[in-house]
Amino acid sequence: MRPLLVTFPRRAPFALLACSLLAISTTACSSSDSVAPAVSAPTITVAGVADGAVLESGVTIFVTIDSGTFEATLNDAPFFSGATIAEPGSYRLEVVAVNAGGTTTEVVEFEIRFSGDSLLIIRMLDLGENEAGGGGDALIVTDSSAVGTRHVLIDAGPAGAEAADVGFVLRRLQELGIDTLEVLVLTHAHSDHYGGMGPILNSVVVDEFLYNGQVRSVAGYQSVLATAQARANVFTVPSTVAERMFGLGEERTTLSLIPGLPDNLGTSTNDGSDLNDGSIGTRIAKGSFSMFVSADGEVDANLRWRRDFSALTRDVTVLKVGHHAGNDAVFDAGFPGSGTSWLDHTDADLHLISANGTTHPRIGALNELLSRAAPTLCTSTHGEVEIRAAADGQWTVTVERNEGAACSAGRDATT
């Protein structure tokens, strides 16, 4: 089916938002309140959900106050007005507002119960700009079914200018109410993929840490591995394709994780220049839907995935293009005009690019992708991208911003 594009609202930290038609209480919108004396304690309005509600779908919640400032938490994690809560579970939203007249606290407790339909959700996070090279990757994979909701994270950023915001992916997990990861996958030993893992390993229950066994002495990488050894219940380096399944029967979500290319698993003095082709490649499948996550795989990895793991990589629904859409990840010999066997083999209905918008996407790779019938979405242009696939293979994709716009090449990209 053709993907459906819908824009969902951007998160706004502690924003004082205008009154909304969704408001369940209109107190803050009344004319009398708008001219209320400043000595009165603030009035809090929570829109989108009522206290005690039991919902069967996700909800977008807006918090407004008539004066002063407020802070909000959802299950003790910071909450941002305008956020969408989609994960089944029990929630307690607490808002504390302060002005010169005093302090007001509002608590709303609610529950999201999944209707029972089996659903796969894949979120490719927008990691913003990173002048250090590559905005990084972070994909949250969620399977919801009658047996519960399970989450996997493939890579963890970082995010932001100069890769400074190592807590970004953790905060996104907390916004979504995710406190347990069945598997945390590190595809390879580059900091734009492992940089956010320390805070996650220290704050979230990680049942299994799975990586490619790459050797590299750089301190940040060693720290993540040591933390994973200490915190994860299982520490895995797969030597053959590792399968992890979530959900029920034929409707379950299956992850097939392909070990890294043996020639690219590093040395103790590795400078990081040849690690991309050692990336773990991941097929995510549910019913007739499939996605291949190429991490930073380039020419050699693509050739091996195509030749030795054809059944896992051929004719996928969605391809996460390798290496933030570098030319090495798209063309047979790494430059335009040298063939597109990998794109022809995967033959995706949708191409996704996780890129910083500065060095990537590369011009040649992006032009090749845009010349194809399948649409291409980029985090640098479209923000966070969310795919939802049902057990029958029906799927939709939503973008955070710029719905309908074409991806732009990185503004500093020259090839």
Binding site for Zn ion (CB under 5 A): 134, 192, 296
Report the nearest approach of Zn ion to the CB of residue 276 (Å): 7
Report the nearest approach of Zn ion to the CB of residue 96 (Å): 40
Identity of the residue, 83 or 189, whose beta carbon is nearer to Zn ion in the bound complex: 189
Identity of the residue, 95 or 325, whose beta carbon is nearer to Zn ion in the bound complex: 325
Identity of the residue, 138 or 201, whose beta carbon is nearer to Zn ion in the bound complex: 138
Identity of the residue, 87 or 192, whose beta carbon is nearer to Zn ion in the bound complex: 192
Report the nearest approach of Zn ion to the CB of residue 324 (Å): 6
Q: What is the DSSP string of 186-247?
A: E-SS-HHHHTTHHHHHHHSEEEEEEE---B---HHHHHHHHHHHHH-SEEE--SS-EEEEES
Identity of the residue, 193 or 388, whose beta carbon is nearer to Zn ion in the bound complex: 193
Rounded CA Rg of the chain: 22
Report the nearest approach of Zn ion to the CB of residue 157 (Å): 10
Distance (Å) of CA 280 to CA 145, 170, 242, 264, 383 = 27, 22, 10, 11, 24
Instruction: Cis check for the bond before 361: say yes or no (omega within 30 of 0).
Output: yes
| 235 in Cβ contact with 229 (< 8 Å) | yes
Report the nearest approach of Zn ion to the CB of residue 77 (Å): 27
Identity of the residue, 273 or 371, whose beta carbon is nearer to Zn ion in the bound complex: 273
Identity of the residue, 82 or 160, whose beta carbon is nearer to Zn ion in the bound complex: 160
Identity of the residue, 134 or 375, whose beta carbon is nearer to Zn ion in the bound complex: 134
CA distance 279 to 262: 10
Report the nearest approach of Zn ion to the CB of residue 296 (Å): 4
- Tokens representing 266 are 């590093």
Residue 273: CB partners within 8 Å, gap ≥ 6?
A: none
Report the nearest approach of Zn ion to the CB of residue 215 (Å): 18
Residue 271: CB partners within 8 Å, gap ≥ 6?
A: none
CA distance 274 to 91: 45
Quickly tell me which residue has 């909701």 as its tokens.
149
Report the nearest approach of Zn ion to the CB of residue 196 (Å): 13
Q: Is 59 helix (H, G, I), strand (E, B) or coil?
A: strand
- Tokens representing 43 are 């009035």
| 343 in Cβ contact with 336 (< 8 Å) | no
Q: Provide the terminal-to-terminal Cα distance of the chain, rounded to the nearest Å.
A: 33
